[in-house]
Structures are given as C-alpha cells and as structure tokens.
Amino acid sequence: MSHFLYPEAFWLLVVPFVIYFLLPKVRGLHGEALKVPFIDDLKSIKLKSEHLRISPLNSRILFSLKFLYILTIWTLLVVAAARPQYAGEPHRLKAENRDIMLVIDISNSMLQPDFYAQGHRIDRMSAVKAVVSAFIEKRTEDRVGLVLFGTLAYLQSPLTFDKQAVKEILLNTDAGMAGNSTSIGDALGTALKNLQSEENKDNKVIILLTDGENNDGSLSMAEAIDLAEKEGIKVYTIGVGGGGNFISSLFSLRNNEFDEASLKELAKRTRGNYFQAKDLNTLAQVYQRIDDLEPQSSQSNVVQEIRELFYIPLMIALFLLLGLLFLPRRALND
C-alpha cells in the first residue's frame, strides 16, 4: 500500500500558475522598448533568410513546450517533497508485559536480623533487596515503579522501562529513611494514584510488602482497601517475618506484628493473593509465584515495513533539470 507522508505538499502545485497569471511580467530597466538612435539605418537592412524567423504560432508552441517542461520538473519536486512511501502489511508481535508497582516497607522494623543467607543472619531489608532486585532484573518486557514507605510514603520511581535505575534506587535505600512508623494506607494510595491515569487496568499489578501494621498516615487500612477495590487494580500482599524460632522470639521485640487479616482482605477484594515470607527462600518463592501468576498477552507492538520512494521523482527531476542545459538558448529566452 502506497501513501504520501506529507500530502499537504501538493498545494505547492499551484505556485507556477500563481506566478504566471497573477504576478506582473518583468519589464526592462528602460521600459518595454529599447531606444536605438540609429533605428532608421536598421530599417534598411532586410533579412535574407526568412527561415530564421520564428512565426508567432511557432513561438507560442515553443513557449507552451517550455512551460510544460518546467511544470513537469516542478511537479516531480513537489511529489518528492510529499514523501511517497510504500507500507507493507502490519504484523503484530505478541509479548507478555505488565505494569508492576512495587510498594516496599522501609520502616525501622525491617532491620530485624531474622533472615538467613548461606548460614549467616541478615536483616529483613537486606533480604528484600536481594530478592526484589533479582525480580526486577527478570522484567525484560515490563514497566516497573517503586514506592517506599515508613512514616511517609514516597514515589521513588514512576512506571519505567529503566529497570536498572529502579534497582539502584532500591539498593541505595536504608531502613528507617522514611521514619519509624508504618503508613501502609498512604503507600497503597500513592501507588494507586500513579496507576490511575493508565487506561488498561488488566495488566496493572501492585506488590505490597510489609512487616508491620498501618499505624500512621492519613489513609486508614479500611479506606485503602475500599479505594483499591474501586480502582480495580490487582494487589498482591506479602507479610514479612513471623518465622523465627523460640530463641529468636525471646530477643526480638517485633517478630510478627504485620496485620495479616488486613493484608488478606486487601488481596482478596482486589483479586490478588496473600503470601507470608518467613525466610529468604520463602520470599524468593513468593516473587516467583507472582511472576508465574501474572503473564499477560499483549499485541500492542506492531511491525510494518516502510520503504521510501521520494528519491524516484527527485532523480527524474534532476535529470530534467540537466536537460535544460541542452535546450536552445532562444527557447529559454522566449
């Protein structure tokens, strides 16, 4: 299928006619006639070769051919300026892509060292960084956003294909940077607001991770759940902790304080799932299960062959312009 990228360029075809019919003819510096003092002597000279004269009829024909020749060149240049293109059949590429908003608790309780990695005790924040960073790296076709919260909730990154930037922000985050308390409602509201402008809600997902309960902020947990259900965006909730042994519970002041009932209700009412991550392996399995649950087929990517054709009329016009050099000089001047 052929088409013109700039069809409005064809308005330029009227320019030669405007110049010829509307603009006044160019006159000589001394008027229409050249005064010659010895004109009487020239009158006595008779042309011996009558065939050298061009009759008025031949002159009009020659002028018409010259005008058509130049008009043809101009038309070809206008066609080239309109950018003719050949467009092949569009082909849609199927891909699996999602918009994932990560909402992560960075309150002080995330410093509890009740996770283990290779036999060594690590804090919850370090475990989350390791697992979520690996999760982000696998998002080849997805857009990822990041909300971090404690006392306050902050949108650290809107949805973006630059996963490396999101990962760097997360790795450079420390627990306690956003305050000591936990504002789950405000964090969820911030994530929902960022996804609100998106038209297609089917491939939008929020993954909320916390080890606490909603004890601060302007939005209560009940209000946040109602808002999430109204927006129709699926929310997966992850409760971190609660997997220590008897000895660790004696020395840990905050072992299992997340509001499991609210997290379950939030997931249920938004058609998501609730998970509890008691250790590093479980946390990794949680994100793997979310990854398996959420593939969405998309056909939004369209590939279409576009072939430029403007060079064809342009080359013809250049050859015709060169042809002007070989036309009789008299033909150009008439």
Residue 280 neighbours by CB distance under 10 Å? 20
Give the CATH number of domain 96-301: 3.40.50.410
Strands 143-149 and 99-105: parallel
Contact (CB, 8 A) for 239 and 264 = no
User: How far apart, in whole angstroms, are the C-alpha atoms of residue 53 and residue 128?
Assistant: 98
Domain extents in the chain: 2-88+304-333, 96-301
* Phi/psi at 318 (5° precision): -65, -40
| 252 membership: H or E segment, kind and range | none
In 3D space, the residue among 202, 98, 210 whose CA is nearest the CA of residue 147 turns out to be: 210
Which letter, b or e, does each residue of 76-93 get, where b requires 16 or more Cβ atoms within 10 Å of its Cβ?
bbbbbbbebeeeeeeeee
Spell out the SS3 assignment of 210-235: ECCCCCCCCCCHHHHHHHHHHHCCEE
Whether 205 and 294 have beta carbons less than 8 Å apart is answered as yes
Sheet order of strands, 2-4 included: 2-4, 84-87, 306-308
Q: Parallel, antiparallel, or unpaired: how do β-strands 120-122 and 115-117 relate?
A: antiparallel
- Per-position DSSP letters for 286-314, written without gaps between them: HHHHHHHH---EEEEEEE--EEE-THHHH
pTM of the full structure: 0.58
Between CA 154 and CA 165 the distance in angstroms is: 16
258 in Cβ contact with 212 (< 8 Å): yes
Q: How many residues does the chain have?
A: 334
Tokens of 206: 């929020």
Q: Cα 181 to chain center, whole Å? A: 38
Per-residue pLDDT of the chain (334 residues; tens, 9 = 90+): 678 888 898 898 888 777 777 766 655 544 555 555 544 554 555 444 444 454 555 555 555 777 788 888 889 999 999 888 888 777 654 555 788 999 999 988 898 888 887 778 888 999 999 899 988 988 877 889 999 999 999 999 999 989 899 999 999 998 888 888 889 999 999 999 988 765 666 678 999 999 888 888 888 899 999 999 998 889 999 998 764 444 344 444 444 467 889 999 999 999 988 998 887 888 888 888 887 776 555 445 566 668 888 889 899 989 888 877 776 555 555 5
Q: Edge-to-edge, what's the strand order for the sheet holding 204-210?
A: 153-160, 143-149, 99-105, 204-210, 234-240, 274-277
CB atoms within 10 A of CB 331: 15
Q: Please report where in the chains the tokens 């020239």 appear, as a residue.
A: 42
- Nearest CA-CA partner of 279 in 133, 148, 119: 119
